[in-house]
Amino acid sequence: MKFVAHEDVEAPIEFVFDQVSDFAAIERSVLRRGAEVQRVDDLEETRPGMKWDAAFDLRGKRREMQLELTELDRPNGIVIASRSPNMGGQMVLDLVALSRSRTRINVKIDMTPRTLAAKLLVQSMKLAKGNLTKRFRQRVAGYAKDLEDRYKDVA
């Protein structure tokens, strides 16, 4: 199952990349939303190979997954792979400089079920795909707006 969204941000690509690759800030944001996340690698710098364990509640069940930063192409984007016992996935975040002060964010999420239970979950999600896609795009738009606000605060 795939989700795709794109938003334009009134900020330079370097600033946007710095924000989307600030994993410490993202970890804090995830914790505030009620999920658990813990970094499990020993890397001191931001680079491929960074790993996290995450746990969250979805549809009344506790879900656990491992995340790994697989690609980091400054300032063009990042790729994060995820896996759990039931599901695999990948998030691709591409950045495109539209001008010196405008950047397009393209976000693609692809989920692949590994078990029958996960296939049933994905099937039920497909029935609500329109609503889920709308919510996903609203989240990406909200994040883009936050990036613009942060840029205005520092500019």
Output the CA angle 56-60-62, nearest 5 degrees.
Answer: 35
Note the pLDDT tens digit of each residue in 35-93: 999 999 999 999 999 999 999 998 788 999 999 999 999 999 999 999 999 999 999 99
Q: Phi and psi at residue 26, in whole multiples of 5°?
A: -65, -40
What is the C-alpha radius of gyration for the chain, rounded to an integer number of angstroms? 16
Note the pLDDT tens digit of each residue in 88-124: 999 999 999 999 999 999 999 999 999 999 999 899 9
* Global pTM value: 0.91
What domains are defined for the chain? 2-154 (3.30.530.20)
Length of the chain: 155
For 71, residues 6+ apart whose C-beta sits below 8 A from its C-beta are 48, 77, 78, 79
